[in-house]
Amino acid sequence: MIVIKSGVTSPNGFLASGIKAGIKRSGRADLALLYSEVPAVAAAAFTTNRFQASPVKVSKDHIKAKKHQAIIVNSGNANCANGSIGDKDALKMTEFIGNALFLDKREVLVASTGIIGAYLPLAKIEKAIPELAGELSGDHGTSFAEAIMTTDTVKKELAVKVKLGKATVTIGGACKGVGMIYPLMKTERHATMLCFLTTDAAITKKMLAASLDEAIGDSFNMISVDGDMSTNDSCFIMANGLAKNREINSRGSDYGKFTESLKFVMSELSKKLVRDGEGATKFVEILVTGAKSESDAKAIARKISTSNLLKCAVCGEDPNWGRIVAAAGSSGVNFDPDKVDVYLGNLKALSDGASVKGLDKNRAHKLFTKRDVHIKVDLKSGSHEATAWTCDFSKEYVAINSEYST
């Protein structure tokens, strides 16, 4: 696998655009379009929040179609809690693109991000469609990545190439989200995080959905910025087959390689989200090992990642590992506390459930002064492990979210 500095337009046959439609008061780019030059199969995962935004409802319906070619995205307005008007507006966005690109509206997916409870300025969006479609280019992947941003401070994109048989397949991606981040997304077969993935791999819709389902469980569903689940979380992938590899239609060697590459792209994009978390000064990786099951390891890692007390301690560079064990113990997972070890970096703070005597507090403090903080919890009860990623809580986070809608 080779990592390349690019994004959603890296795979063959994908074009993108990002323009200013006047949705954001800041005047920044706020309307984006992703397009496959040939029909593609698509899969998606959406928020499990009961209060789902209108674009989520429309895309959940449209993803059932056999083929797709476009995704339209707006930032600056979540189109959530707008009732039937919001639903009709989200559907209209797919119709606008369908008409512009000669597609059926069900071949178009839609996503929105921004303030909840404000109606979409649909007239502005409709007026901008000719420019949005006209700007489609293989060189505008970065424009797409920038136009989907809200409170993000940097664009987030990545791509990889992987050999499948004699063919070289490319997977590209772009995402946004630095606040209201605690995704728990599910694929349709069973401030907001949005992810858009493209690939020129030849793969069936069924296996694409399976691959996305595997990858999302170890990536976006393992991050937290503030523990709040968005109403708009969505992750899309389109595969157009232009790499001309042997079609992946079952769980074999090529499926495994493709899925591992997809996991890599999604995990790296996930970490980019956390590193750019609203007001974040620290990036925290939490590894839970020795669990009885993968679900146990994930539950504990996620619980620790949402501990507000720990996140404040990390911001203050206070290696208060007691907050780690308190979070682990409240996860609902059954484990033996008298077996547990806790490491701050490579420094053991807890051994067999007891505080390590003579712990070098100065050394522990220095570990928390670094930009990247590593925490390990070893349950010593099994062979399963999981990793979660989070960031600290700073005064800047409070400042950003105390005036987000003003």
Strand-pairing partners, residue 234, are 46, 194
Q: What is the pTM of this model?
A: 0.91
- Based on the domain organization, do 326 and 251 belong to the same domain? no
Distance CA 323, CA 277 (A): 21
Parts of the chain with a pLDDT under 70: 179-192, 228, 403-406
Residue 144 CA to residue 147 CA, distance in Å, equals 5
Q: Are residues 226 and 331 in the same domain?
A: no
Q: Is 344 inside a domain boundary?
A: yes
pLDDT, tens only, 247-276: 999 999 999 999 999 999 999 999 999 998
Residue 153: active-site member: no
Q: Are residues 294 and 268 in the same domain?
A: no
CATH of the domain at 39: 3.60.70.12
Q: Examine the fold and report which residue of 249, 275, 301 is the final residue of a domain before the chain moves on.
A: 275
The CA distance from 80 to 116, in Å, is 5
Output the domain CATH number for residue 376. 3.10.20.340
| pLDDT at site 21 | 98
Position 179 scores a pLDDT of 61
Q: Do the Cβ atoms of 19 and 179 come closer than 8 Å? A: no
Selected catalytic residue, list 9, 170, 192, 259: 192
Assess whether 346 and 389 both reside in one domain. Answer: yes
User: Which of 275, 291, 311 is the last residue in one of the domains?
Assistant: 275
In a domain, 131, yes or no: yes
pLDDT at residue number 403: 67
The residues with which 115 forms a beta bridge, in sequence order, are 77
Q: Examine the domain organization and report whether 313 and 354 are in the same domain.
A: yes
Measured in degrees and rounded to the nearest 5, phi and psi for residue 107 equal: -85, 0
Strand 234-239 vs strand 2-4: parallel, antiparallel, or unpaired? unpaired
Q: Give pLDDT, residue 261.
A: 98
pLDDT of residue 192: 62
Report if residue 156 sits inside a domain: yes
Q: 17 and 162 share a domain?
A: yes
Do 231 and 268 have their domain in common? yes
Q: Please indicate, yes or no, whether residues 47 and 123 belong to a single structural domain of this protein.
A: yes
For residues 182 and 199, membership in a common domain is answered with yes
Determine the structural domain holding residue 204 and report its residue range: 2-275
Separation CA 221–CA 368 (nearest Å):
25
Domain count, the chain: 2
Q: Do 241 and 296 fall into the same domain?
A: no
Residue 188 has a pLDDT of 43
Residue 52 domain flag: yes
Q: Which two tokens stand for residue 10?
A: 């890296």
356, part of any domain: yes
Last residue of a domain, one of 275, 303, 334: 275
266 assigned to some structural domain? yes
Amino acid at residue number 183: P
Q: Give every CB contact of residue 26 below 8 A, 6+ residues apart in sequence.
A: none
SS in 3 state form for 267-334? HHHHHHHHHCCCCCCCEEEEEEEEECCHHHHHHHHHHHHCCHHHHHHHHCCCCCCHHHHHHHHCCCCC
pLDDT tens for each residue of 187-221: 543 356 899 999 999 999 999 999 999 999 999 98
Do 261 and 350 lie in one domain? The reply is no
Q: With respect to residue 406, please indicate whether it lies within any of the assigned structural domains.
A: no
Q: Kindly state whether residue 294 falls inside one of the protein's structural domains.
A: yes
Residues 302 and 268 placed together within one structural domain of the fold: no
pLDDT of residue 386: 97
For residue 217, count other CB atoms closer than 10 A to its CB.
Answer: 20
3-state secondary structure the chain: CEEECCCCCCCCCEEEEEECCCCCCCCCCCEEEEEEEEEEEEEEEEECCCCCCHHHHHHHHHCCCCCEEEEEEEEEECCCCCHHHHHHHHHHHHHHHHHHHCCCHHHEEEEEEEECCCCCCHHHHHHHHHHHHHCCECCCHHHHHHHCCCCCCCCEEEEEEEEECCEEEEEEEEEECCCCCCCCEEECCCCCCEEEEEECCCECHHHHHHHHHHHHHCCHHHECCCCCCCCCCEEEEEECCCCCCCCECCCCHHHHHHHHHHHHHHHHHHHHHHHCCCCCCCEEEEEEEEECCHHHHHHHHHHHHCCHHHHHHHHCCCCCCHHHHHHHHCCCCCCCHHHCEEEECCEEEEECCEECCCCCHHHHHHHHCCCEEEEEEECCCCCEEEEEEEECCCHHHHHHHCCCCC
